[in-house]
Structures are given as C-alpha cells and as structure tokens.
Amino acid sequence: MDNSQSADTLAPSARPTRLRPRVVVVGAGFAGITLVRGLKRVAVDVVLVDQHNYHLFTPLLYQVASSQLDPSEIAQPIRKLVRGIRNCDFKLAHVAGIDLAAKSITTDQGAIPYDYLVLAAGSVSNYFGNDKLKRHSLALKNLPDAMALHNWVLQRFEMASWESDPERRTRLITFTVVGGGPTGIEFAGALLELIHPVLRKDFRGTDISGAQVLLAEATSQILSAFKPRLRQAALRSLARRGVKVLLDSPVRAIERHRLVLEDGRSIPTSSVIWTAGVFGAPVGACLQVELDRMGRVPVGPSLQIAGHPEVMVVGDLASLEDLPMLAQVAIQQARLASANIRAMTEGRQVGRFRYHDRGIMATVGRNSAVAEIGPFQFSGFLGWVLWLVVHLANILTFRARLFTLLNWGWNYIALDRPIRLLVPARRVGDASDLGDTEA
C-alpha cells in the first residue's frame, strides 16, 4: 500500500474545504456495514476504515476451522460491499489513536479528520489478563484464527500417523475446547463430525481410536443464555456425538501437553481451543473513558459518549444496559446511529436505543440445533433447519450464499469435508522484498 498517498488524500491541507460533514466509521463488521448502508442517502461523506479488507460473517467461522467452508464463503471484500454506496470510501488501515479535541483519528497509514466518528471495532478474545492462556491456546475469533485452527487439527492427525507411542498419539489427537457458549459447542460438535466420519477413513492405517473432543465449562451449565430445556437438549446431543462435557471445570493453567483444571485434574492434550469470552477491541481505550469490566465503552441511550455527541460507539464495543455481544445488537445499534447522524446534520433530536430481541440459536452438528425465538423453543432437526435457513439468509452476497448451500448439501449427502488442504499461511514480506519500492 502507498502510505503517503492514503494519508495525504485525507489530510486537511490536501483537500478543498469540505461542504458536507465527514463521518468516519471504524470497523466494517456487522455494525460498520449496516451503518454505511444507512448513511447512503444522507448528505454526508463517509470514510469506512478497517484493518482487514474483508467483512467477516462470524457465525460460520467455526465451519472454516472444521473444514466445512472455504474462507471466501464467510468473508466478502469490503470494497465490493460498498462500491454501490457513492458517498462511501473505504480505507484499509489499523486505527491506533483518537484525538477528540482535534476531531481526528490516527492510523498506521496517516490521520483522518472527522466531523462525526462511529467506533464499530467489535471485540477480541478475553484471556482475563492471563497471557499464558493466550500463548498456549488456539483461538476462534477471527479469520486467521479459524484458518490456523483448521491447519492445526489436520496437522495433529498427520503427526499422529508418525507416532508409535499410543499415549503420545492419543494426546496429539485430544482436543479440548474451553468455554460452553455457542462458539465452543458449535466447534466441538463440528470437530467430532470431522474426526469420525471423515478423518477416521483418511487415516485407516493409523490407530486413531483415542481421538477425542472435550469441552470444559467453568459453570454448571452450557449455553447459559438459553432456556434450561434447550441447554439439556444441547448437552444430550453433544454426548450422543461423543463430546465429553466437563461442567464446573474452570481452567487453572494450560501447560505444554496438558490442561490443568482448578480442582487439580489434569488433561493430557496438545490442543486447547479457547472460546471462553470476549473483551472490547483495544481501540476503545483511545477514547480515554473508563471502560466496563468487559473492556467496552459506556455510551448513553443515543449511543454517544459523554461530552462528545459527535462520537458514537456501537456493536460489541459499546456498553449499554449490559446487552449481549451479538450481531443483532450491533446491526440494530448501527441503524440507530445512522438515523442519529442524519438527525444531527438536519438539526433534529437524536433517538434512543431499544433492543428488539429476535432470538438466539446454536447448532450442535448434523440435524441438531437449539433455537429460541420469542416464546417458541426449537431443538433437534427442526431447530437445525431453522438454523440453516436463518444463517443462509444472513450471508451478505448471493455468490457466498450459493457456494455455502452447495458445500452444505455436498457435506450432508456425501458425509464429507472436502476442504482438507494443509496450506499453512506464510507471512508476506513488505514491498521491498518484492522489489516494489522506489530506490
């Protein structure tokens, strides 16, 4: 990327006086994309900034990690998503600072002045301040995490095929998922379905009977946001598949080749997948306000921060009435934020946020999901069909929807997971490695 150019393009001195207010949106996730769409017909210029050039559909992230979908089915280029929005420009950059007084954000590519700023930067994995947990576990929070996990799992089986010691072999193919929320149970179920019908056939010459998936949950229940009947249904479904669920099992430490629980139990495993919580994205700290216990920025009912009505925070990064960190919350808040920006530019009163709960769902694997929609509860096959329809309908592009449907159909009928290439990601050097810089 040409650094000087992208910074200059937006530096105050290099452009004519702005006739329309500039809205800078940080983050092109669920909230950011909804927001720029909501501002399409508003008399503002929008600059959308993200550290990645793609928008990620996180609910299907675990399917990339478990060899069911390709990354391109769950991630779409941001430029493609916004190219029909004439008042929106996209900038690929990492936001590292915010100057509230000067009304400007700092990125690794240069500064961008704003009239209105919306932070929609989402969240990161929460290790509760324990760096060792982070270093010794795998995460499932973003696309590189999912691709690394996909490779890691396949690699463990290849290593197991060379291992003659049965104890070491079992440890290599024992996967421990930490956290009994939707991400943990969805990945645990999908991993077991990858191992049993698929990898068992691939590794016919190796004894992989010791392969197992454990799920450690600190509290006495999984899926705590769901009704008890659905929690029980999910537990039974996991058990039927062979996932060993360990309730009341908080983690004390992750060490080389083992996971140690608070009560002293030790699980020999070379793979710990950490899905035990999320924390507001670090960029929230740049606002220099006191964050809540989950690292989120406190906002008022109109999603503005105290003392700065021109700055709003939405989605996972916003702390308001302890709402859950869900895509629906992010989308609904973004809709209000765009309406509020319009109201401010037109000199009208801003609106207050009211969350309309559209329900929650989680799948445990083939033919099994739990869903709670208003007063209705669904589990088993019906829940699963609902889950499929809702997720398919929410994928942003027609192409991704079509390919996802085809992949799901193939996987279901053939009991297969064709995406099993082991292609470790390699860091691309900077432009000088490619002979692309000026002397």
Nearest CB to ligand FAD, comparing residues 92 and 233: 92
Residue 175's closest CA among 197, 153, 158? 153
In this structure, are strands 104-107 and 110-113 parallel, antiparallel, or unpaired?
Answer: antiparallel
Smallest Cα–Cα separation from 251: which of 266, 229, 232, 271?
266
Supply φ then ψ for residue 185, to 5 degrees. -75, -35
Neighbour-count burial of 204, counting CB atoms closer than 10 A to its CB (0-12 exposed, 13-18 middle, 19+ buried) = exposed
Number of residues that bind ligand FAD (CB under 6 A): 34
390 — alpha (psi -120 to 50), left (phi > 0) or beta? alpha
Nearer to ligand FAD, 26 or 243 (CB): 26
As measured in angstroms, the least distance from the Cβ of 218 to ligand FAD is 18
Could you say which of 10, 22, 50, 76 contacts ligand FAD (CB under 6 A)? 50
Active site residue 186: yes
> Quick check: 386 binds ligand FAD (CB under 6 A)?
no
Minimum gap (Å) between residue 175 Cβ and ligand FAD? 16
Query: Considering only residues 10, 42, 47, 49, which one is a binding residue for ligand FAD as defined by CB under 6 A?
Result: 49
Q: How far is the CB of 425 from ligand FAD (least distance, A)?
A: 17
Alpha carbons 243 and 212: distance in angstroms, whole number: 7
Q: How many CB atoms lie within 10 A of CB 127?
A: 17
* Rounded Cα distance, 216 and 107, in Å: 39
First to last CA, the chain: 16
Nearer to ligand FAD, 34 or 271 (CB): 34
Site for ligand FAD in 105-164 (CB under 6 A): 120-122, 140-141
The least CB distance from residue 366 to ligand FAD, in Å, is: 17
The C-alpha atoms of residue 382 and residue 147 are separated, in whole angstroms, by 30
Nearest-approach distance from CB 139 to ligand FAD, in angstroms = 9
Footprint (CB under 6 A) of ligand FAD, residues 66-105: 94-95
Task: Please select the residue that binds ligand FAD; options are 216, 330, 364, 386, rule is CB under 6 A.
Answer: 330
Which is nearest to 76 in space by CA: 94, 95, 58?
A: 58
Out of 39, 45, 59, 305, point to the residue binding ligand FAD (CB under 6 A): 59
CB of 324 vs ligand FAD, minimal distance in Å: 8
Q: Are the C-beta atoms of residues 34 and 314 closer than 8 Å to each other?
A: no
CB of 398 to ligand FAD, least distance (A): 21
Residues 17-46 that bind ligand FAD (CB under 6 A): 26-32
Given 73, 186, 217, 372, the catalytic residue: 186
x/- track of binding to ligand FAD for residues 308-327 (CB under 6 A): -------xxx-------xxx
Of residues 45 and 316, the one with the C-beta less far from ligand FAD: 316
> Which secondary structure element, helix H or strand E, spans residue 333, and what is its range?
helix 327-345
Which residue is at the shortest CB distance from ligand FAD? 29
Nearer to ligand FAD, 39 or 208 (CB): 39
Name which of 90 and 116 has its Cβ closer to ligand FAD.
Answer: 90
Residue 24 to residue 22: CA distance in whole angstroms: 6
> What whole-number distance in Å separates Cα of residue 301 and Cα of residue 383?
34
- 190: Cβ–Cβ under 8 A, 6 or more apart, which residues? 62, 63, 65, 66, 68, 365
Contacts with ligand FAD, residue ranges (CB under 6 A): 26-32, 49-52, 58-59, 61-62, 94-95, 120-122, 140-141, 182-183, 281, 283, 315-317, 325-328, 330
Catalytic site residues? Answer: 186
